[in-house]
C-alpha cells in the first residue's frame, strides 16, 4: 500500500512524464496488455493515456490495474499515472532520505 507522502512524490515526478501507453478504440487487447507489462517492468512510474468517455475511462483504468497488478497513483482527465504494484513493497528511489539512512 502506498502512503499519501509517496503518492505525492510520485505525482510530482509523474507530472513531467509523457504517456508511454495509449489506450484507444480497441480497449484492452492482448497486445496492449503485453506492452503495458513491458513498460511497467522497464519504468518505475508510467503515464497512460486513455481515449474514451469519462465513465469508460474509469473502468478501463481499473481493469488495467487489475490485469497488470499495478497501482493507480492518480487519474486526471484522460491520463492515468501507474506504479507497478509488485514493487510497491520493495525499496525504490521514491523513499525519503531519512528512510534510506536508517536502513
Q: What is the mean pLDDT of each run of 10 residues along the chain (103 residues)?
A: 89 93 88 93 94 91 92 94 70 45 44
Residue 70 and residue 2 in contact, taking contact as beta carbons nearer than 8 Å: no
Residue 96: what pLDDT? 44
pTM higher than 0.95: no
CA distance 9 to 5: 6
So what CATH class is 4-84?
A: alpha beta
**How far, CA to CA in Å, does 61 sit from each of 51, 70, 99?**
11, 10, 31
* Whole-number Å distance between alpha carbons of 37 and 100: 28
Q: What is the pLDDT of residue 72?
A: 93
Amino acid at each position: 500500500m502506498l502512503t499519501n507522502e509517496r503518492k505525492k512524490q510520485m505525482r510530482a515526478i509523474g507530472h513531467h512524464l509523457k504517456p508511454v501507453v495509449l489506450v484507444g478504440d480497441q480497449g484492452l487487447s492482448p497486445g496492449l496488455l503485453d506492452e503495458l507489462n513491458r513498460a511497467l517492468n522497464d519504468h518505475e512510474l508510467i503515464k497512460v493515456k486513455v481515449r474514451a468517455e469519462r465513465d469508460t475511462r474509469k473502468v478501463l483504468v481499473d481493469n488495467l490495474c487489475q490485469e497488470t497488478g499495478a497501482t493507480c497513483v492518480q487519474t486526471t482527465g484522460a491520463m492515468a499515472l501507474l506504479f507497478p504494484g509488485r514493487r510497491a513493497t520493495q525499496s525504490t528511489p521514491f523513499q525519503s532520505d531519512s528512510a534510506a539512512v536508517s536502513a
